[in-house]
Amino acid sequence: MENERYTGLTFLLELFGIILAIFFLVPFYYVLGNSFKSFADILQNTSSLPKSLDFTNYSQAIAVMDFWRALLNSLIVTVASNVLIVLFCSMAAYKLVRTRHKISTVIFFIFVATMVIPFQSIMIPLVKVGSTLHLMNSHYGLVVMYLAFGSALSIFLYHGFIKGIPIELEEAAIIDGCSPYMVFWKVVFPLLKPITVTIVILNTLWIWNDFLLPSLVLRDEELRTIPLATFYFFGAYTKQWNLALAGLVLGITPLLIFFFAAQKQIIGGITSGSIK
Amino acid sequence: MSKFDKAMNKEVETVVDDATDFKVSYRKKRRNSGSFIVFVGPVFLVFAALVLIPFLMGLYYSFTNWNGVVGNIHYVGFDNYKYIFTQDADFKQSFIITTKYTFIAVILTNLIGFGLALLVTKGLKSRNILRTIFFLPNLIGGLLLGFIWQFIFNKGLTSLGAALGIDSLMQSLLGTANGAFWAIIIVAIWQGAGYIMIIYVAALQGVPQELIEAAQVDGADRFTTLRKIIIPMVAPAVTVCLFLTISWSFKVFDQNLSLTGGGPFKSTEMLALNIYTEAFVNNRYGLGEAKAIVFFVFVAAISILQVYLTKKREVEA
């Protein structure tokens, strides 16, 4: 459908698209523009461009919300969760596909069936189980929970992908004397790269932005991830829009950088993650 | 070595080979079930401990008056459920507002997402940058998104209204129950339409060009081509997009919390926020969990019904 001729109608559509895009960008303009203004200036000239690029709001917001700490926490949690999810879910999905036994079907079915359970239906007992297992108020506890809640979709996606890989390669490797572990890590895992990229992207968008789970698990201020830090910061400075807006811009910047660095993979990841 | 010796040697070798073969296959079986536990065990254990068991515990708690304090749990039968369905006006209000929100948000997000997808597959010069811009809001988490729009509605639009002299814009949308409801819808569309667009774009690019040309040769106009060829061909994407948007809308929490906080006067308190408040603010864990179970049954039933109904309409190329 991309090869149509460029006609007058196409030009009108182009104009319409650009106007629509400007509407989509208006909120970014308001937040970014006002984050450089003084408090009084925000109230008086909300819609105008800032007079100068004044970073005092930013330095203050960084200090008050302990931004670098929150950024580091978000990075630790997101990266560690992704590593665990990729590692354990690829292994599990592989074995579930390759073991022709009732138990594989049953376990896979259980994983898939739980995908319809909303998180809110589990969160209340989860807090109790979490404290029994000493998972509360720590990054590793949060990471283990992300493995648990991310496992169903990730195993589902890996399962679908692995079914399409011919088994002959693995048989050849076994004849050459590979152990089941070597077969997986040396032969199968490298073949999973496309779906691994998809899974990492879907999980990163989810984990980086998640608020509810960390708000239930993390109590100490120095453990807070970016959404948590923003939440408490915003709550304390609701009336001081200049600081609050600088904090919001800081909060959304890391993911925008991630997006522009990996735009192709992200778009592709979303497409292949949802077509399955 | 004589001929006989050679033959004998060969015979012995085969017997030895057979024996090792047997041993190997026996070991392989044991090693297989051993490796099954190593491969599947860790994630299943974590999943069982943090998803399955809490879910089953939740079923039990929904029949108790647990208040969050350890040891203070008494079985109360169906009291929580009776309370929810007969006396709890807030829950009923949340239920109605969430259903209404889901209905409107799902339809509008899909229509606009599909419209954007049609637009950016029309061979525009700016199609790549447009796709990026439409998708951009989706990167921002619900919580920050709500805060951003709180500023837009409370300060941005009101100042624009004052500058342009438009009275209806000068009052914040978040001030009234109806306005706040539509504010959440606007934010949901702004966030979700770009994501949905990406899925529809992939589906539209999969529609064979020959089909469209054949229809046009047969005299179909643009609208008929869209209705009779394109929409049936992208039906699998419709199934996926409806499933995603229904699930997002029912579970909406972050935007609800940060944009309106359920206000004004609980008028926009959706189910997820209602459950959260009941458990973690009012400390009525048992009652909150009963609501969470009702919520689960409702969401699961709607999702399964939707997938069943839309799957039936999918066609092959």
Residues from chain B that touch A234, judged by Cβ atoms under 8 A, are 147, 258
Q: Which residue of A has its CA nearest to B208?
A: A1
B139, B243, B283, best to mutate vs chain A, most A CBs in 10 Å: B139
Average pLDDT on A110-132 reads 89
In chain B, whose CA is at the least distance from the CA of A10?
A: B124
* Chain B partners within 8 Å of A248 (Cβ): 144, 147-148, 151
Q: Determine the distance in angstroms separating the CA of A186 from the nearest CA of chain B, rounded to an integer.
A: 15
Contact criterion met (CB < 8 Å) for B124 and A121: no
**Shortest distance, CA B128 to any CA of chain A (angstroms):** 11
Res. A34: pLDDT tops 90: no
Nearest chain B residue to A27 by CA distance is B152
For A198-255, write each residue's pLDDT tens digit.
899 889 989 999 999 999 999 888 999 999 998 888 887 777 888 888 888 988 899 8
Q: Per residue in B203-235, pLDDT tens?
A: 888 888 888 888 888 888 888 888 888 888 888
Burial of B198 (0-12, 13-18, 19+ CB in 10 A): buried
> For residue B75, which phi and psi values (nearest 5 degrees)?
-70, 130
Between CA B20 and CA A137 the distance in angstroms is 54
One DSSP character per residue, A12-48 reads HHHHHHHHHHHHHHHHHHHHHHHTTS-HHHHHH-SSS
CA–CA gap between residue B138 and residue A16 (Å, rounded): 21
Give the residue from A199, A170, A201 showing the smallest Cα distance to A187. Answer: A170
DSSP string, B180-238: HHHHHHHHHHHHHHHHHHHHHHHHHHTS-HHHHHHHHHTT--HHHHIIIIIHHHTHHHH
pLDDT band at residue A79 using 50, 70 and 90 as cut-offs: very high
Rounded to two decimals, the ipTM of the complex is 0.85
User: Rounded to whole angstroms, how far apart are CA atoms B204 and B199?
Assistant: 9
Q: How far is A192 from chain B (nearest CA, A)?
A: 16
Q: Which residues of A touch B135 (CB under 8 A)?
A: 267
Is the bond leading into A50 cis (omega within 30 degrees of zero)? no
If you count them, how many residues does chain B have? 317
Name which of A226, A206, A201 is nearest A215 in CA terms: A226
Per mean pLDDT, which of A254-268, B56-70, B176-190 is the most reliable?
Answer: B176-190
Interface probe for B, chosen from A91, A120, A266, A270 (most Cβ of B below 10 Å), is A120
Q: Which residue of A has its CA nearest to B70?
A: A128
Chain B CB contacts of A130 below 8 Å: 50
Testing the interface with B: which of A5, A32, A46, A224 to mutate, by most B Cβ within 10 A?
A: A46
Nearest by CB: A147 against B46, B158, B236: B46
pLDDT beyond 60 at B44: yes
Largest Cα span, chain B: 114
Bridge partners (DSSP) of residue B64 are B75
A112 in contact with B at a CB cutoff of 8 Å?
no
The closest of B308, B299, B315, B311 to B106, measured between CA atoms, is: B299
**Mean predicted confidence (pLDDT) in A13-34:** 89
- % of chain B surpassing 70 pLDDT: 88
B19 versus A38: which is more confidently predicted?
Answer: A38
Q: Give the model's confidence band at B1: pLDDT under 50 very low, under 70 low, under 90 confident, else very high.
A: very low
* B224 CA: distance to closest CA in chain A (Å): 16
pLDDT at B17: 53
Residue whose entry in the numeric block shows the structure tokens 């890590």: A185
B-contacting residues of A 135-174, CB under 8 Å?
A: 144-145, 147-149, 151-152, 155
Between A and B, how many CB-CB pairs are < 8 A?
275
State pTM to two decimals. Answer: 0.85
pLDDT confidence bin for B30, thresholds 50/70/90: low
**DSSP-assigned letters across all residues of B61-87:** HTTB---SSTT---B-TTHHHHHHHHT
Question: Inter-chain contact A4–B122, Cβ cutoff 8 Å?
Answer: yes
Q: For residues A52 and A33, give the distance between their C-alpha atoms in angstroms, rounded to a whole number.
A: 10
**DSSP classification of residue A137:** T
Residue A275 sits at the chain B interface (C-beta within 8 Å)? yes
**What percent of chain A is predicted at pLDDT more than 90?**
36
Q: In this predicted structure, what is the pLDDT of residue A100? A: 82
- A92 at interface of B, judged by CB pairs closer than 8 A: yes
Closest partner CB to B39 (pick from A10, A18, A91): A91
| Structure confidence by residue, pLDDT tens digits, B261-280 | 877 888 888 999 999 988 88
Work out the average pLDDT over B161-165.
77
